[in-house]
Amino acid sequence: MTMFFRQYYLACLSHASYMIGDSSTGRAVVVDPQRDVSQYLADAKENGLTIERIFETHFHADFLSGHLELQAVTGADIVYGTVGAERTEFPVVAMRDGERYSLGSVTLEVRNTPGHTPESVSIVVYEHGDTPYGVLTGDTMFIGDVGRPDLLSAFGATATDLGKQLYHSLHHKLLTLPDTTKVYPAHGAGSACGKNLSTETVSTIGEQRRTNYALAPMSEEEFVKVVTEGQAAAPLYFSFAAVRNRMKRDVFDESGSTTMLSFDEVLKAQQSGAVIVDSREPNEFALGHVKGSINVGLSGRFAEYSGEVITSDTKVVLVCPSGTENEARIRLGRIGFDNVIGALRDAENAFVSNPNHIAQASRLTVEQLRERRDSVTNLQVVDVRGPGEVASGTIPGAELIQLPTLVTRLGELDLDAPTVVFCAGGYRSSIAASALRQRGFKDVSDLIGGFGAWQSAGGEVTQPVGAH
Residue 38 lies in a domain: yes
* Pairing label, strands 3-10, 260-261: unpaired
* CA 73 and chain centroid, separation: 26
In sequence order, the β-bridge partners of residue 124 are 109, 135
* Helices 427-438 & 302-309 angle (0-180, nearest 10): 30
CB 135 within 8 A of CB 205: yes
Contact yes or no for 337/432 (Cβ under 8 A): no
In a domain, 466, yes or no: no
Same-domain pairing of 355 and 367: no
The answer to whether residues 41 and 168 belong to one domain is yes
Within-domain flag for 336: yes
Q: Which helix (H) or strand (E) holds 183?
A: strand 182-185
What does the alpha-carbon distance between residue 317 and residue 340 come to, in Å, rounded to a whole number?
6
Same domain, residue pair 349 and 218: no
3-state secondary structure of 161: helix
Say how many CA atoms lie within 13 Å of 42 toward its Cβ: 5
Of 216, 244, 272, the position where a domain reaches its end is 244
Average pLDDT of the residues in 93-103: 98
Residue 160 lies in a domain: yes
The confidence band for 136, taking pLDDT boundaries of 50, 70 and 90, is: very high
User: Would 276 be classed as within a structural domain?
Assistant: yes
Give the CATH number of the domain where residue 155 resides.
3.60.15.10
Q: How many Å apart are CA 60 and CA 31, to the nearest integer?
A: 12
In a domain, 295, yes or no: yes
- Of 157 and 416, the structure prediction assigns the larger pLDDT to 416
In this structure, the answer to whether residues 283 and 411 fall within a common structural domain is no
Same domain, 311 and 367: no
Same domain, 350 and 367: no
Domain that holds residue 97: 3-244
Q: Are residues 122 and 61 in the same domain?
A: yes
Q: Which pLDDT band, with edges at 50, 70 and 90, does 231 fall under?
A: confident
The last residue of a domain, from among 359, 394, 428: 359
| Calpha distance 351→146 (Å, rounded) | 47
**Gyration radius (Cα) of the chain, Å:** 23
User: Domain ends where: 296, 328, 359?
Assistant: 359
3-state secondary structure of 444: strand
Residue 32 sits in the same domain as residue 180? yes
467 band by pLDDT with thresholds 50, 70 and 90: very low
Query: How far is Cα 368 from Cα 380, in angstroms, rounded to an integer?
Result: 15
Contacts of 209 (CB under 8 A, 6+ apart): 175, 179, 215
Same domain, 350 and 372: no
Q: Do 137 and 165 sit in the same domain of this protein?
A: yes
Shared domain for 219 and 343, answered yes or no, is: no
Helix (H) or strand (E) holding 205: helix 205-211
139 and 57 in contact (C-beta within 8 Å)? yes
Q: What one-letter code names the amino acid at 276? A: I
Q: What is the pLDDT of residues 164-209, one digit of tens each?
A: 999 999 999 999 999 999 999 999 987 777 777 788 999 999 999 9
Query: 444 in a domain, yes or no?
Result: yes
The verdict on residue 384 lying in a domain is: yes
Question: Structural domain tally of the chain?
Answer: 3
Give every CB contact of residue 171 below 8 A, 6+ residues apart in sequence. none
Q: Provide mean pLDDT across the span 51-64.
A: 97
Instruction: For residues 283 and 235, state if they share a domain.
Output: no
